[in-house]
Amino acid sequence: MAKKQKFQSPQGMHDILPEDQGYFEKLYSTAENIAAFYGFEKIETPILEFTELYEKGTGLNTDIVEKQMFSLRTKGGDSLTMRPEFTPGVMRAFIQHGMMNLPQPVKLYSIGPVFRYESPQAGRFRQFRQVNFEVFGEKSPAIDAQVIQAFYNLLSELKFKNLVIEVNSIGASCCRPYFKKILTSYLRSRVNSLCLDCKRRVRENPLRFLDCKEEKCQPIKAQAPQIIDHLCEECNNHFKETLEFLDELGLPYRLNPYLVRGLDYYTKTVFEIFNETPSLEGTLPVALIGGGRYDNLGKVVGGKDIPACGGAAGVERIVNEMKKNKLRVSADTKKEVFLAQVGDLAKKKSLKLFEEFRKAKIPVAESLSKDSLKVQLTRADRLNVRYALILGQKEALEKTVILRDMKNGIQDTYKIEKAVSEIKKRLKRKK
Ligand code: AMP
C-alpha cells in the first residue's frame, strides 16, 4: 500500500480541483443571473463574526451552536467564530449599515464558504459553500413564495428534472410556545420509547423531535400533534397565502408537517428543496436548499423589528447531485483553436500569434513546451478543437501559417497576419 502523505487536507475540508471548477462556475453564474433578475444585490460579510452573534442569532439550542462552531480567541481577548451560516451576519450588516432606512424590501445575496464542525459522513463537510438569498423588510407571503421560486429556478436552470419543494409552517411567538407545550406533554407520556437524543430534546428543543430520523421515534411521530393544526389565525393565513402563491406559480410542492429545520430563528414558513431522481431510488434524497422566514432575528441581533425571509443553497451538495445525474456544464470556455509549432523560429512567431488571439478575445489552446508535432496534434484532438494552426520552419520563414480543419482534415495556408481574421470568419460561420 502506498505510504500516506504526511499532510492531507483537514477532515471534511476539500480541494476543488481544476476539473471540477466548471461545475462551481456554472452554479455561481446561474445564481448571479437569478439574483440580478430578482433584484438581489451582492453583500460580502467577514468570515469571522463575534461568537455571541451566532449564540443569540442561530440559537443556543441548535446543533450548530452546541457542537459545530469553529471558534477562536483573538490576542485581544475577543471570542470570534468562523461563520457557520450567512444569515446572522447579513442581518447584522443590514442593521449596522442602517439599511432599514432604504426603500424596503432590501434583497441581498452572498456566496462563499461556511464552516461547521460536523461528524464526518457522506454529503456533510466541515468547510462547504453556500449561495444565500435574503429579503429584508417585507412581511408579505408573496416574498416567501418569491424566495422559494428563485431557489427553485436556480436548480431548474441547472437542468435538475425531479425537483420537489417541501414546505411547512412552524408558527411564531404567538402560537409556537403553546404548541411546544402540547408536544412536550405528548412526548413526556412516551419518553421511555424515545431515542436518546429525543429524550434530551423533550427538555431542550422538543420541535427537533419532529425531524428525528431514528426508527424508534417514527411510530411516536406518526401519532404526534401537528403544528399546522395549532397555528394562530395570523400564521395560518400567512401559510395559506404562501401556498396559494406557490399554486399560482405552478411550483411542485408538498406539505411536510415534520419539517422544522434546525435553527431557532425561523418563524412561519420553512422549506427545503430536493432532487428526487427515480433511478437513484433507495438512496435517501438530501436537501439541496433550505430556508424560511425569520421575522424575529432582527430583534435578537440588533433590537430592531425586521421581517425577513431567505434561504441557502449548499453548493457542494448541488455539484455532487449534478455529477450523479450526469448534468453537463456547457463548456463556455471551450477552446476551438489549437496553435501548434515546430522549430525555434516557429516557436517565437507562435508566441506572438498567441497574444494576437488573446487581444481578439478568441480562446486558443497551445503546447508551447512540446516540440513534436504529433504530440501537439494528439492534444488538439483530445481537446476536440475545430481548427489547428500549424507553424513549421518553412511557414515561419515565409511568414505564413497552415490552418487545418480538424473535422475534415482540409488544410489551407494563409499569411500569418491574416490568421486571426480567418479564424474569426470561420468561427462566425460555424455559429
Ligand atoms: P442549512 O444552512 O443547514 O439550512 O443548510 C442549507 C443547505 O446547505 C443544505 O440544504 C445543504 O445543501 C447545505 N449543507 C448544510 N450542511 C452541510 C454540510 N455539512 N456539508 C455540505 N453541505 C451542507
Nearest to 417 by CA among 338, 334, 336, 359: 359
- Please identify which residue in the block is written with the cell numbers 425586521: 306
Same-domain check for residues 341 and 320:
no
Give the C-alpha separation, 158 to 318, whole Å: 9
What pLDDT digit, counting tens, does each position of 265-295 carry?
A: 899 999 999 998 765 555 678 899 999 999 9
Return the pLDDT at 281. 56
The answer to whether residue 12 is domain-embedded is no
Return the pLDDT at 385. 92
Nearest to 107 by CA among 135, 143, 88: 135
- Please identify which residue in the block is written with the cell numbers 422544522: 260
What CATH number should be reported for the domain holding residue 293?
3.30.930.10
- Residue 307 CA to ligand 1 centre (angstroms): 23
What is the best residue among 117, 124, 134, 315 to mutate for testing ligand 1's pocket, by most ligand atoms within 8 Å of CB? 124
In the listed set 297, 324, 351, which residue is the last one of a domain according to the structure? 324
Q: Who's near 252: CB < 8 A, 6+ residues apart?
A: 163, 164, 165
Nearest CA owner, ligand 1 atom 23: 314
For residue 180, give the DSSP letter: H
Same-domain check for residues 235 and 274:
yes
The answer to whether residue 101 is domain-embedded is yes
Length of the chain: 431
The answer to whether residue 297 is domain-embedded is yes
Give the C-alpha separation, 105 to 216, whole Å: 44
Same-domain check for residues 112 and 81:
yes
Name the pTM for this structure: 0.86
The answer to whether residue 100 is domain-embedded is yes
Nearest CA owner, ligand 1 atom 13: 314
Nearest to 270 by CA among 317, 228, 214: 228
The answer to whether residue 7 is domain-embedded is no
Same-domain check for residues 248 and 350:
no
Same-domain check for residues 256 and 369:
no
Same-domain check for residues 22 and 99:
yes
What CATH number should be reported for the domain holding residue 358?
3.40.50.800
The answer to whether residue 285 is domain-embedded is yes
The answer to whether residue 298 is domain-embedded is yes
The answer to whether residue 209 is domain-embedded is no
125 Cβ inside 6 Å of ligand 1: yes
Nearest-atom index, ligand 1, CA of 313 = 7
Nearest-atom index, ligand 1, CA of 287 = 10
Give the C-alpha separation, 350 to 342, whole Å: 10
Is there a cis peptide before residue 307, judged by omega within 30 degrees of 0?
no
The SS3 assignment for 27 reads: helix
Q: Are 232 and 202 in contact (CB under 8 A)?
A: no
- Residue 86 CA to ligand 1 centre (angstroms): 11
Any bridge partners for residue 292, and if so which? 270, 310
Give the C-alpha separation, 134 to 131, whole Å: 10
- Residue 317 CA to ligand 1 centre (angstroms): 8
In the listed set 298, 324, 350, which residue is the last one of a domain according to the structure? 324
Same-domain check for residues 305 and 391:
no
176 Cβ inside 6 Å of ligand 1: no
- Please identify which residue in the block is written with the cell numbers 495556408: 413
Give the C-alpha separation, 431 to 429, whole Å: 5
Same-domain check for residues 361 and 282:
no
312 Cβ inside 6 Å of ligand 1: yes
Domain that holds residue 361: 337-430
Return the pLDDT at 330. 66
In the listed set 324, 349, 375, which residue is the last one of a domain according to the structure? 324
124 Cβ inside 6 Å of ligand 1: yes
Same-domain check for residues 345 and 305:
no
Nearest CA owner, ligand 1 atom 19: 124
Same-domain check for residues 278 and 349:
no
| Residues with pLDDT less than 70, the chain | 1-2, 278-283, 330-333, 430-431
Return the pLDDT at 428. 87
Q: What is the β-pairing status of strands 106-115 and 41-42?
A: parallel
Same-domain check for residues 245 and 360:
no
Q: Who's near 145: CB < 8 A, 6+ residues apart?
A: 242, 245, 246, 248, 249, 251
What is the best residue among 66, 128, 154, 288 to mutate for testing ligand 1's pocket, by most ligand atoms within 8 Å of CB? 128
The SS3 assignment for 263 reads: coil
Domain count across the chain: 2
Give the C-alpha separation, 147 to 43, whole Å: 17
Same-domain check for residues 314 and 344:
no
